[in-house]
Amino acid sequence: MQFKMILTLIGLAGVLLVPLADAQSPVDDVLLQMQKAYKKGDTALLTALLPQAQGSLLEPWAAYWALSARLETATPEEVNAFLRRYAGTYQEDRLRNDWLLLLGKRQDWNQFAVVAPEFRMNDDREVRCYTLAMENILTKVNMADEVKTQWYGAKDAGEGCTLAAQSHYAAGQMTADDIWRKARLTTEARMLESTRQVVAIVAPDAGAALTEALKKPELFLLKRPPSSHRLTQELAVLALIRWADNDPDGAAQALDERWSKQLSSAQRAWAWGAIGKQAAQKLSDNALGYFQNASPTAMTDDQLAWRVRAALRQSQWSDVLSAVEAMSPDVANDSTWMYWHARALMQPGRSEADRAQARQLLQDMASVRGFYPLLAEEELGQPITPPPAPAPLTAQEKQRAQSNPGLQRALAAIDLGLRSEGVREWNYTTNMHMPGGMNDRDLLAAADLACQHSVWDRCINTSERTRSFIDMTQRFPMPYRQAVVERSREINLDPAYVYGLIRQESRFVTDARSGVGASGLMQLMPATARWTARKIGLTDFKTHQLSDQDTNIVLGTGYLKLILDDFAGSMPMAAAAYNAGPRRPRIWRGEAGSPTLEAAIWAENIPFNETRDYVKKVLANTTLYAAMITGQTQSLKARLGMIGPRDTSQADNPDLP
């Protein structure tokens, strides 16, 4: 092991951390067995193994697993004893989080009120909602505004937030409009069981009618007589949202011809927003027309985002402007919408005041901190170059990070193979918003510690959180440089592009494995790896070799090159194909007659959230890696280029997986 330590307890007052270089501790197997037992819910085995983990650096994890697995039957005394013994650790606050959720579910407000004030993370929406519910139930304090913020911010209903909404609704502090809004949000998010929970607050007898609206929306809307009765109106909106999921044009026709006059202006606006959003995600030319049936100010931020995207595809800059200006301030201040807001203000015919506002927006966001900040730099004519390095870390700063117990436990857990646990403890320890949390220099030192141990994902993610300066060598490390650069140049690939993709795929974690089975640095699926091996002549390849970094790089770069060639060298399209498969980007580029778009507009209109984010990050990464590798000014716009319908004289490779 690269990082082994033991923990010597000195009473309950403190700890002494003693490094054991590359020693195989006999407790390692016990810890690994306990993690597996925890995942299986084997409380008996956890209890039996716990004594063997005492004295280990990772003892807090062992104790957490043992108690958390049987928390529902644990006594308050047992929980309090754990919280005292492991005070100040991530595991203490993690168990407090779990305990608060259980107490809230039981509505044990006496215990909840004692435990909640000590919760340090304060990052669990449900815990906060239970707190709001408790305060309302016990004292009738009106916290409706925060309840709505928490409730609307979650995709599902959530037991705690639903309870808080129920109590405020019963007290007359939330209205039926508030509840129906959440029902529409959960329906748009396809969280239909949550929709049922929400609707039950205001219409507990909706039953069969609600089921029909959600499961057979066409039948509900076409067979049921339109009515101005409130329940029927609201169920019709839910049915329109559901129908639009599969057939926005059909839903639009039903709304326009049958239901429009029976709905309020607010209900119609939401329905048109939902229909427009689904049409926009299908890249339909009808999308913008559907959006224009209602005022932007009556739509949700998510609907407005898709309204902007639809307007960008059709170069309707005035609609871009009105949609962005209708967004809530927090959303409008996101770099995505700041950039397109500025671009809309810069269009021909705009006033000098508009252009001045556009320049200010671009100046406010221009930096190397992401895709749109980089584009803003180019719009302002500023060169894309690495910023100056921060002052070197002092020996004291490095020592403070090295001696931090939370960071030590995190590294030890990752080294042992407990990556999930290690990452969570690392993130908790480096949380600058916690009481006594880390400042920028502390984060820089923690990132340096992760780099020194080749824990590249924590190195990158920790360094990305510094605000007053940027360390590019931490944020954009180049491990395995010889293998990446040599292999890339052998097959005529830009090594910066390969590094940009690896950074997004795996953060340089060699044993990374996705939920769908992709493996290694370049996150290859086994079938894709076998296909690529055949294409590049790697005849003796076996799937288990994907965990070998050099083999993974050879196959990943080989596949990327084949994709890039198939898309005529378009980096955005090849990145989209690497993430979502080649078939989808071919569809997204449109058929003959479709407009040729700036690649930034094309990427922003990718229907899949993950792929849209992926393409933008890979291209931003690539631009910055190129600046670091070459030492020369770079252009993100040049890498993006333009994207239009495929050249019909060039055949696609149907064999490409």
CB contact at 8 A, 99 and 115 = yes
Q: How far apart are CA 486 and CA 607, in angstroms?
A: 35
DSSP state of 13: T
At residue 47, φ and ψ (nearest 5 deg) are -65, -40
- Contacts (Cβ under 8 Å, ≥6 apart) of 155: 186, 189, 191, 194
Q: How many residues can be counted in the chain?
A: 657
CB 96 within 8 A of CB 68: no
Question: Taking Cα atoms as reference points, which of 364, 363, 344 lies closest to residue 354?
Answer: 344
Nearby residues of 385 by Cβ (< 8 Å), 6 or more positions away: 627, 633, 634
CA 144 to chain centre: 27
Task: Clarify whether 505 is annotated catalytic.
Answer: yes
Farthest-apart Cα atoms in the chain, separation: 78
Hey, what are 557's tokens? 């770069």
Closest among 625, 420, 418 to 504, alpha carbons compared: 625
Task: For the chain, count helices (H), then strands (E).
Answer: 38, 4
Q: Which amino acid type is present at position 458? A: R
Residue listed under structure tokens 């754990």: 82
Closest CA to 495 of 561, 411, 423: 561
User: What distance in Å separates the CA atoms of residue 460 and residue 2, rounded to the nearest whole number?
Assistant: 20
Task: Please provide residue 305's backbone torsions phi and psi, each rounded to the nearest 5 degrees.
Answer: -60, -45
Rounded CA-CA distance 278/290 in Å is 10
Token pair in block for residue 608 = 């899949």
Q: Which run of H or of E encompasses 597?
A: strand 597-598
Residue corresponding to tokens 């931490």: 474
Q: Are strands 597-598 and 642-643 parallel, antiparallel or unpaired?
A: antiparallel
In 108-229, which ranges are continuous DSSP H helix? 109-115, 125-139, 144-152, 159-170, 176-188, 192-202, 207-215, 217-223
Which one from 421, 505, 598, 604 is the annotated catalytic residue? 505
Comparing CA positions, the residue from 255, 270, 262, 275 lying closest to residue 232 is: 262
Query: Which residue reads 């939401």 in tokens?
Result: 270
HEC profile for 491-557? CCCCHHHHHHHHHHHCCCCCCCECCCCCECCCCECHHHHHHHHHHHCCCCCCHHHHHCHHHHHHHHH
How many angstroms separate the first and last alpha carbons of the chain? 38
Residue 508, CA distances (Å) to 23, 157, 513 in order: 25, 36, 12
The token pair at 522 is: 């370049």
Q: At what angle do helices 59-68 and 90-106 cross, to 10 degrees?
A: 10
Catalytic machinery residues: 505
